[in-house]
Amino acid sequence: MGDTCTESSLVHGLSNLNVNERIRDDYIMWDEYFMSIAFLVSNRSKDPSTQVGACIVNDKNRIVGQGYNGMPRRCRDNAFPWDKTNPNPLETKYFYVCHAEMNAIFNKNCADISNCKIYTVLFPCNQCTKTIIQSGISEVVYMCDKNKNKPEAIASMKMLEAAKVKCRQLKFTVDGFKIDFKQFVCLQCPANTIVQERSKDGLRGRENCLPWRDYFLALSILVAKRSKCPDQQLGACVVNDENCIVGQGYNGMPMKCSDKVFPWGTDSTNPLENKFLYECHAELNAILNSGLKTKGCVMYTITFPCNECAKAIIQSGIRKVVYLSKPKKEPEVVAAKRMFQAAKVKYRQHKPKQQVVYLDFKSIEG
Indicate which residues carry an active-site annotation: 101
Cα 61 from Cα 168, distance rounded (Å): 17
Q: Which amino acid is at 65?
A: G
Which residue type occupies 321? V
Contact of 57 with 63, CB cutoff 8 Å: yes
247: CB partners within 8 A, 6+ apart: 109, 237, 238, 286, 287, 288, 289, 290, 291, 294
Give me the helix-helix angle, 126-134 and 151-162, nearest 10°: 20
* Nearest one of 96, 100, 103, 98 to 123, comparing CA atoms: 100
Give the HSE-up count for residue 362: Cα atoms under 13 Å, Cβ half-sphere: 13
CA distance to 105, 140, 156, per residue, from 130 (Å): 12, 12, 8
